[in-house]
């Protein structure tokens, strides 16, 4: 047997009974060193009995201890504690399974454990799906189905080990009360089945529908929520049809809102719509985690067009494709997450012109079906969002905070979802000015996150001048945020290749924001740290400025070396012309030939452009590297130098090819392969460098950071 792998906690993971003694000593010592062993020895406290503070401390220690035990288990032992939520339950389970000395000691001290040892064979038969042995045991002892091991009852074991036949037989023999029995972790057998097996769910629920409303004790998740969390929407839909409607109302708890949250994250738009139609208040009811349905939809960029990346031709199809504004309930069973396999609603959308008559396979080949599905998702997401916005209009400020409305708009800003920011601000205009605890407004946060689409909305706001003068709790105005370089801004900058052009984009941001800020006479521009926006920009961008300078210098040096080689070759080629010179006149022998004129012309162009490119790159090496130089000065030099270099390399290979034609006029077939080879370096260089040239040109002269043509919207 291969040795088990080690971890930072123990040198050898627990892989079976023969490893347990040494393993338990080492893990116990580790937990003692971290002051976590008390969590393993003591019973979990009740939140109401110890208070919120002590309960949170226990929960943190329990998570650390449980994590250490999980990391110390191998692939064959970890499944036995996969569902344990406390370190004590995990430790006791492993001890019961892999410590025979402990079991023997228990047998001596407690006569009842003699029978428990017999039950181990029963549970083992259940786990391996041996119905014959299981049935014989039940005939001898019908109470065996009520007995518990570390995983729970026999039914728990059968469900966890996916033994469908055993589950059916046990359910048939068990009463409704026995089916409601929970394991030591507070899970019913139905809760386990809801994770991944519809047949088992149907079997158990048919016998006892009350199980649908029993939540597991850890996170208070009901079976329908467990199924949604594990992305088993077939089970969710089945359980939903049997769930009492009142159970999902906000007045009954957070179950309904949490189900909507799961629906939105999984893009089960039709299901979310139906729940919100049933109870619109769910939109601003906090779920069991840190999301409400409103904040959840603001965290899913792909549910809207602004969070979807399409190619140019795909964008054209998207814009011309019409989606009927149908009620999502009319085709409730659509799953927009996996619509690649769903063709039931193609009648809902039509594309203009030829697209309307394309066969389904051709439509699939060109990606039209996928574009239709994307647009269907976006249309329905906007419809759900509009419903939510209608619900938050009459809310008090306290209910808005409880419903995470402020978190929703800031999450939408961070993700760049314009389609969420605008309706929320239109429904509650105060969101434009009021922020979270730090006092920043949405436009300041948009600048901090470098979300140009969201920030562009400021051009359509009537009170733009007022917004630009607002300050947060630290005295930062919107221009200060343009001078910052937060982790969120760095994440956006990572999409731009080259530190020099990242610096260019940062400077473009600063200049754009600076252009709309109206300075107040007599007002200080200092924040609480005593920094003006320009000083803050210089301080936060010092490293990026250095990296940009290094990038420019490195690129210029590399291109200069290439230019030097081309100049040497092209200059020497003039004196060693193909065919040689006439001994009498000294003129080239092929002087009057067309191929020779092509050779001389391309050689001259290559030499001149290469020399020009070298001089331009040398000027970059001697340039200053101030912040504003990265806006246009340095990129322009890079554009000119790189363009000249591309022309030089291309004409150099033309000169080479024409020289072959001159020397092998009578053997043209022999020259073609070499001419083809000559095109390879040109193609490679152009293919790798031309996109860079285009990006530099667009970012310097064509691309606008902001869309200033936004219509007045609020």
Q: Using DSSP, state whether 230 is helix, strand or coil.
A: coil
Concatenating the DSSP letter of every residue in 572-613 gives HHHHS-TT-B-TTT-SBTTTTSHHHHHHHHHHHHHHHHHHHH
Tokens of 469: 């003068």
Q: Do the Cβ atoms of 145 and 178 come closer than 8 Å? A: yes
What pLDDT, on the 0 to 100 scale, is given for residue 260? 96
Q: How far apart are CA 518 and CA 47, in angstroms?
A: 53
Q: In terms of Cα–Cα distance, which of 483, 418, 405 is closest to 453?
A: 418
User: CA angle, 659 as apex, 656 and 664 as ends, to 5°?
Assistant: 130
Among residues 181, 173, 166, the alpha carbon closest in space to that of 123 is found at 166
Q: Please list, in sequence order, all residues whose beta carbon lies within 8 angstroms of the beta carbon of residue 166, skipping any fewer than 6 positions away.
A: 126, 129, 131, 134, 154, 158
Residue listed under structure tokens 């000119």? 640
In angstroms, what CA-CA distances link 155 with 53, 76, 200, 294, 311? Answer: 37, 21, 10, 39, 53
CA atoms of 432 and 545, how far apart (whole Å): 33
Determine the 3-state secondary structure of 477 from DSSP: coil
423: phi then psi, degrees, rounded to nearest 5: -60, -35
How many whole angstroms separate alpha carbon 366 and alpha carbon 370?
9
Q: How far apart are CA 87 and CA 97, in angstroms?
A: 16
Cα 174 to Cα 318: distance, rounded to the nearest angstrom: 56
SS (H, E, C) 52-115: HHHHHHHHHHHHHHHHHHHHCECCCCHHHHCCCCCHHHHHHHHHHHHCHHHHHHHHHHCCHHHH
Query: Can you read off the two tokens belonging to residue 658?
Result: 């024409």
- For residue 235, count other CB atoms closer than 10 A to its CB: 24
Structure tokens at 652: 């150099």
Helix, strand, coil shares of the chain, percent, nearest 5, are: 70, 0, 30
What ranges do the domains of the chain cover? 17-100, 244-342+358-432, 552-702
Neighbours of 681 (CB within 10 A): 12
Q: How far does the chain reach from its first CA to its final CA, in angstroms?
A: 71
For 479-507, b where at least 16 C-beta lie within 10 A, e where not — what string? bbbbbbbeeebeebbeebebbbbbbbbbb
Backbone angles phi, psi at 337, to 5 degrees: -75, -35
H/E segment holding residue 294 = helix 293-297
Pick from 596, 610, 669: nearest CA to 643: 610
Sequence-distant contacts of 542-549: CB under 8 A, at least 24 apart: 544/485, 544/499, 544/502, 544/503, 544/506, 545/503, 545/625, 545/627, 545/630, 547/499, 547/503, 548/498, 548/499, 548/500, 548/502, 548/503, 548/504, 548/625, 548/630, 549/500, 549/625
In angstroms, the CA 290 to CA 294 distance is 11
Coil, helix or strand for 349?
strand
In total, the chain counts a number of residues equal to 714
d(CA 517, CA 348): 47
CA distance 627 to 506: 10
Instruction: State the pLDDT at residue 406.
Output: 93
Please provide residue 12's backbone torsions phi and psi, each rounded to the nearest 5 degrees. Answer: -145, 125
- Give the separation between CA 237 and CA 548, rounded to whole angstroms: 55
If the chain, 714 residues long, is cut into consecutive pieces of 10 residues, what is the mean pLDDT of each piece? 57 76 88 89 79 84 91 82 86 80 48 57 89 88 88 93 94 93 92 94 95 88 94 95 89 91 93 92 90 95 90 84 61 38 41 49 70 90 94 92 93 95 94 84 95 93 87 92 94 92 95 87 79 94 96 95 93 71 57 74 93 96 94 95 93 85 70 78 83 89 79 85
Structural tokens at position 131: 């119905």
Identify the three-state secondary structure at position 149: strand
Three-state SS for 622? coil
The count of other CB atoms within 10 Å of the CB of residue 338 is 12
DSSP 624-647: ---GGGGTTHHHHHHHHHHHHHHH
CA–chain centroid gap for 509, Å, is 25
pLDDT at residue 116, as a whole number: 56
Residue 298: closest CA among 151, 145, 411: 411
Residue ranges in 450-541 assigned as alpha helix (H): 452-455, 464-469, 478-483, 487-493, 499-516, 533-540
Are 690 and 682 spatial neighbours (Cβ–Cβ below 8 Å)? no
Position 411 scores a pLDDT of: 95
Picking from 1, 2, 22, 18, the residue whose alpha carbon sits closest to that of residue 10 is 22
Q: pLDDT at position 577, please? A: 66
CA-based nearest residue to 602, from 658, 551, 538: 658
């Amino acid at each position: 047997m291969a040795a088990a792998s080690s971890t930072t906690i123990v040198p050898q993971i627990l892989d079976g009974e023969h490893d347990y003694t040494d393993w338990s000593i080492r893990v116990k010592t580790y937990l003692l060193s971290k002051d976590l062993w008390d969590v393993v020895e003591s019973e979990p406290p009740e939140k109401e009995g110890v208070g919120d503070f002590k309960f949170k401390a226990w929960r943190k220690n329990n998570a650390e201890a449980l994590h250490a035990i999980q990391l110390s288990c191998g692939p064959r032992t970890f499944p036995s504690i996969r569902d344990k939520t406390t370190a004590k339950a995990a430790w006791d389970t492993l001890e019961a399974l892999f410590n025979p000395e402990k079991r023997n000691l228990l047998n001596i001290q407690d006569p009842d454990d003699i029978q428990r040892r017999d039950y181990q064979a029963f549970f083992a038969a259940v786990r391996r799906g041996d119905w014959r042995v299981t049935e014989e045991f039940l005939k001898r002892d019908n109470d065996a189905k009520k007995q518990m091991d570390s995983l729970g009852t026999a039914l728990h074991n059968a469900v966890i080990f996916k033994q469908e036949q055993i589950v059916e037989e046990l359910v048939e023999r068990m009463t409704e009360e026995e089916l409601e029995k929970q394991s030591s972790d507070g899970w019913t057998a139905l809760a386990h089945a809801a994770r991944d097996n519809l047949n088992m769910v149907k079997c158990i629920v048919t016998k006892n529908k009350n199980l649908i409303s029993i939540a597991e004790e850890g996170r208070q998740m009901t079976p329908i929520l467990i199924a949604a969390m594990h992305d088993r929407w077939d089970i969710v839909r089945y359980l939903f049809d049997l769930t009492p409607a009142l159970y999902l109302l906000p007045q009954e708890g957070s179950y309904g809102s949490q189900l909507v949250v799961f629906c939105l994250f999984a893009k089960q738009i039709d299901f979310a719509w139906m729940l919100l139609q049933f109870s619109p208040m769910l939109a601003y009811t906090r779920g069991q985690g840190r999301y409400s349905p409103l904040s959840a939809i603001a965290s899913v960029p792909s549910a809207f067009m602004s969070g979807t990346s399409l190619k140019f031709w795909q964008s054209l199809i998207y814009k011309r494709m019409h989606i009927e504004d149908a009620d999502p309930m009319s085709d409730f069973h659509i799953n927009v997450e996996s619509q690649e396999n769903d063709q039931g609603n193609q009648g809902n959308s039509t594309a203009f012109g030829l697209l309307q008559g394309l066969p389904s396979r051709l439509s699939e080949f060109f990606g039209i079906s996928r574009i239709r599905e994307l647009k269907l998702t976006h249309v329905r997401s906007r419809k759900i969002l509009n419903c939510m916005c209608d619900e938050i209009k009459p809310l008090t400020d306290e209910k808005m905070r409880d419903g995470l409305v402020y978190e929703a708009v800031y999450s939408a800003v961070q993700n760049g979802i314009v389609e969420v920011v605008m309706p929320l601000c239109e429904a509650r205009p105060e969101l434009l000015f009021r922020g979270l605890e730090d006092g920043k407004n949405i436009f300041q946060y948009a600048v901090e996150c470098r979300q140009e689409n969201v920030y562009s909305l400021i051009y359509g706001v009537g009170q733009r001048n007022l917004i630009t003068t607002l300050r947060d709790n630290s005295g930062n105005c919107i221009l200060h945020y343009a001078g910052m370089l937060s982790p969120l801004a760095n994440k956006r900058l990572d999409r731009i290749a080259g530190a020099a052009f990242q610096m260019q984009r940062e400077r473009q941001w600063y200049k754009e924001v600076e252009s709309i800020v109206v300075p107040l006479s007599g007002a200080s521009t200092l924040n609480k740290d005593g920094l003006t926006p320009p000083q803050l920009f210089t301080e936060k961008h010092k490293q990026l400025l250095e990296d940009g300078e290094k990038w420019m210098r490195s690129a210029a040096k590399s291109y200069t070396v290439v230019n030097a080689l081309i100049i040497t070759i092209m200059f020497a080629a003039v004196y060693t012309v193909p065919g040689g010179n006439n001994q009498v006149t000294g003129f080239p022998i092929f002087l009057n030939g067309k191929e020779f004129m092509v050779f001389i012309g391309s050689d001259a162009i290559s030499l001149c452009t290469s020399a020009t490119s070298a001089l331009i790159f040398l000027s970059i090496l001697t340039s200053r590297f101030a912040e504003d130089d990265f806006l246009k000065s340095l990129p322009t030099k890079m554009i000119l130098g790189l363009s000249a270099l591309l022309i030089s390399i291309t004409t150099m290979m033309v000169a080479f090819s024409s020289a072959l034609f001159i020397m092998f006029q009578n053997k043209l077939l022999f020259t073609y392969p070499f001419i083809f080879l000559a095109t390879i370096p040109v193609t490679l260089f152009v293919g790798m460098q031309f996109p860079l040239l285009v990006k530099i040109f667009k970012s310097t002269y064509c691309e606008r950071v902001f869309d200033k043509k936004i219509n007045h919207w609020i």
